[in-house]
Amino acid sequence: MPITEVTIIRRCAHCRYEIGTMTVKKDNMRLMATEPVWCESCGAEAPEMRDVAERETTIESEQASYPGNPPVADVSAAEFRRRRSAGIDV
């Protein structure tokens, strides 16, 4: 069953304090806001930043599933050429 509703987190653009959340239909989702909002943490009106809830955790879990990088041999250029000509894996 497709997801039809999305939870959006509203944050202060200066201090990233979470102002609130709202649930909207995917078709009506709007992540850009132009009007400033009152931030309790800053004590002033600040620009609002909106983001889809749990996006950061989804990105982290996906990146954790990537294969690791093989170790890099720290050798000089001359040593690299010598190993390569000798047929040693570099």
CA distance 20 to 43: 16
Q: Model's pTM, two decimal places?
A: 0.59
Model confidence over 20-74: pLDDT tens digits? 999 989 887 888 888 899 999 889 999 999 998 888 888 899 999 988 887 776 7
Cβ proximity of 6 and 29 under 8 Å: yes
What is the dihedral sign for C-alpha 58, 63, 66, 67?
A: negative
Task: Look at residue 90 and tell me whether its pLDDT is greater than 90.
Answer: no
Task: Look at residue 86 and tell me whether its pLDDT is greater than 80.
Answer: yes
